[in-house]
Chain A
Amino acid sequence: MTGIFLITSIAILITMALALIRAMLGPTVFDRVLALNMVGTKTVLLIAVVDVATERGDFLDLALLYSLMNFIGMVALLRFTEYGSFSREGTEL
């Protein structure tokens, strides 16, 4: 774990902590959604940094999966916020 990777991961961790604090305080729903999305993105970045730093090469697939999961979860959350359910006017998805 050389200097540049250490500094990068510390910066990402600080960003994650700030996003977490925003999610805890967050007065509106959209603060929380944004914070959750940000934690997901920073997780992907952290995995990528750890992958390069430890020269593994196989963690990058997991980073891809994480970003997909982040996207799906975000779409589900926002649909629920917008319509109060996953469907519009009772039409099932």
Chain B
Amino acid sequence: MNLIVFTILAMLAATAVTVARIRDLWAAIMFTGIYSFLSASWMLILDAPDVAFTEAAVGAGISTVLMLSTLVLVGPSDAGRRKPALVPLTVVTITGCALVYGTLDMPHFGDPNDPIHLHPRPSFVEKSQVDMHGLPNVITSVLASYRGYDTLGETTVVLTAGIAVLLILRKEKDEPEREAVSQ
């Protein structure tokens, strides 16, 4: 099983480098499709079928079609900036190193002493009503109070995304009816 995982990861890396290097945008979209299929099968082998399902539907299906529609609008040619971009490369490398360093603190995969495999601290259940000034529902107190900042952040993200979609899709009042884009 390790053999399959490592082979898929190597092919993922090769595909990612190709997407970054290739100048033909049409081919780059196809490589993102390959990337989605490979990463979805990798997630499947890691026993995360729900994530793999989403990746296959959104990554390989919808986003390929969306990017192709964008290509219809903007044209298939690249502006062709060939200058080596050192600053972005440095930023990406440093960010990657920081992320890998962050994973070192995580519990080992399948460790029986993981917090997720141990019984939750009973104090959460016992003290939540006193802590949270009489909230009777433990789930509500955990979601809205103990990790309230997290929930606030999530709802902010959803709100921002909704506003952005509305701004993009709204119709200007004095905008004339545009003809359907055809080539």
Q: Is B44's CB under 8 angstroms from A70's CB?
A: no
Q: Is B183's CB under 8 angstroms from A85's CB?
A: yes
How distant is A86 from chain B, measured CB to nearest CB, in Å? 7
B8 neighbours in A (Cβ, 8 Å): 13
B38 neighbours in A (Cβ, 8 Å): 39, 43
Say which residue of A1, A36, A46, A62 sits within 8 Å of B52 (CB atoms).
A62
Q: Mark A60-93, 1 if CB is under 8 A from B, else 0.
A: 0010011001101100110010001111011010
Tell me if B124 counts as interface (CB < 8 A to partner A): no
Say which residue of A24, A69, A76, A90 sits within 8 Å of B180 (CB atoms).
A90
A80 neighbours in B (Cβ, 8 Å): 26, 68, 71-72
A16 neighbours in B (Cβ, 8 Å): 11
Say which residue of A36, A47, A72, A85 sits within 8 Å of B34 (CB atoms).
A36
A87 neighbours in B (Cβ, 8 Å): 180, 182
Say which residue of A9, A66, A84 sits within 8 Å of B40 (CB atoms).
A66
**A73-B182 contact, Cβ under 8 Å, with A20-B14, A65-B57:** no
Tell me if A33 counts as interface (CB < 8 A to partner B): yes
User: How many angstroms from the CA of A36 to the CA of B45 in the assembled complex?
Assistant: 21
Q: Is B40's CB under 8 angstroms from A43's CB?
A: yes
Main secondary structure of the interface of A (DSSP, over half): helix
Number of interface residues of B (CB under 8 A): 39
Q: Which of A29, A46, A58, A87 counts the most chain B CB atoms within 10 A?
A: A46
Say which residue of B3, B49, B181, B182 sits within 8 Å of A59 (CB atoms).
B49
Of all chain A residues, the one with the shortest Cβ separation from B15 is A20
Tell me if B130 counts as interface (CB < 8 A to partner A): no
How distant is B5 from chain A, measured CB to nearest CB, in Å? 11
Those 7 A-B pairs whose CB atoms lie nearest each other, nearest first: A90-B182, A69-B61, A85-B72, A43-B37, A13-B7, A69-B60, A73-B64
Say which residue of B4, B34, B44 sits within 8 Å of A62 (CB atoms).
B44
User: How many angstroms from the CA of A76 to the CA of B29 in the assembled complex?
Assistant: 12
How distant is A72 from chain B, measured CB to nearest CB, in Å? 6
**A77-B71 contact, Cβ under 8 Å, with A33-B30, A69-B57:** no
How distant is B74 from chain A, measured CB to nearest CB, in Å? 12
Q: Is A86's CB under 8 angstroms from B72's CB?
A: yes
How distant is A34 from chain B, measured CB to nearest CB, in Å? 11
Tell me if B149 counts as interface (CB < 8 A to partner A): no
A20 neighbours in B (Cβ, 8 Å): 11, 14-15, 34
Interface pairs (24), CB distance under 8 Å = A9-B4, A17-B7, A17-B11, A20-B15, A23-B30, A23-B31, A36-B33, A40-B33, A40-B37, A43-B38, A46-B41, A50-B4, A58-B49, A62-B44, A69-B57, A73-B60, A73-B64, A73-B65, A77-B30, A77-B68, A85-B72, A85-B182, A87-B180, A89-B182
